[in-house]
């Protein structure tokens, strides 16, 4: 995103994600903390995704799987989906799926050309007011839940090599 992009029309039942887009996304990008990508349809802002670098701690079953492969590291490199949101008017039309595909392409490019990147990670949240939760969405996209839990969020990962899921 850049200074020219108008985010005023964007609406979501997740107000925190609207506030982040309007108030923090561009500033975070200027500080090189994350990059936010926007999608438009006929001039309307449809969705956005915010990406940054992260790592996944190898614990429990995941650690065991990698130990068996001879990988002794305590953590492995990942691309993090910091925020992801579809405007209320465009929900359930495949836009979220398209953004996940985009993040997989970005992670693959990073690995192919620039730097190690084994996973995509996200902290999936449940909205206590609407009871809607994104965990099912991410599961459908091929993400798995990490054993480790965070307050109010479920850490999930997508393995870009996609061969260890069956081992867990």
Ligand X SMILES: CC(C)(COP(=O)(O)OP(=O)(O)OC[C@H]1O[C@@H](n2cnc3c(N)ncnc32)[C@H](O)[C@@H]1OP(=O)(O)O)[C@@H](O)C(=O)NCCC(=O)NCCS
Residues at the site binding ligand X, with contacts judged by CB under 6 A: 12, 14, 17, 83-86, 91-97, 122, 124-125, 132, 134, 136-137, 140
In the complex, what is the shortest distance from the CB of residue 88 to ligand X, in angstroms, rounded to a whole number? Answer: 8
Distance CA 78, CA 91 (A): 27
In the complex, what is the shortest distance from the CB of residue 162 to ligand X, in angstroms, rounded to a whole number? Answer: 19
Distance CA 87, CA 12 (A): 5
Nearest-10 Cα torsion for 85, 83, 162, 156:
-110
Distance CA 73, CA 145 (A): 20
Q: Which is nearer to ligand X, 120 or 122 (CB)?
A: 122
Q: Which is nearer to ligand X, 62 or 143 (CB)?
A: 143
Q: Which is nearer to ligand X, 92 or 113 (CB)?
A: 92
Q: Which is nearer to ligand X, 62 or 124 (CB)?
A: 124
In the complex, what is the shortest distance from the CB of residue 20 to ligand X, in angstroms, rounded to a whole number? Answer: 10
Cβ neighbours around 162 below 10 Å, total: 9
């Amino acid at each position: 995103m850049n200074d020219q992009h108008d985010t005023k029309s964007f609406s979501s039942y997740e107000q925190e994600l609207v506030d982040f887009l309007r108030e923090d996304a561009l500033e975070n990008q200027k500080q090189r903390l994350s990059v936010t990508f926007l999608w438009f349809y006929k001039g309307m802002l449809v969705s956005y995704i915010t990406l940054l670098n992260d790592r996944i701690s190898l614990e429990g079953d995941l650690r065991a799987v990698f130990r068996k492969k001879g990988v002794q590291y305590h953590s492995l490199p990942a691309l993090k989906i910091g925020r992801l949101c579809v405007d209320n008017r465009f929900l359930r039309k495949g836009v979220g799926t398209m953004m996940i595909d985009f993040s997989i392409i970005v992670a693959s490019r990073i690995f192919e050309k620039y730097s190690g990147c084994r996973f995509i990670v996200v902290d999936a949240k449940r909205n206590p007011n609407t009871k809607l939760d994104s965990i099912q969405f991410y599961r459908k996209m091929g993400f798995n839940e990490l054993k480790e839990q965070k307050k109010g969020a479920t850490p999930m990962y997508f393995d870009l090599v996609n061969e260890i899921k069956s081992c867990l």
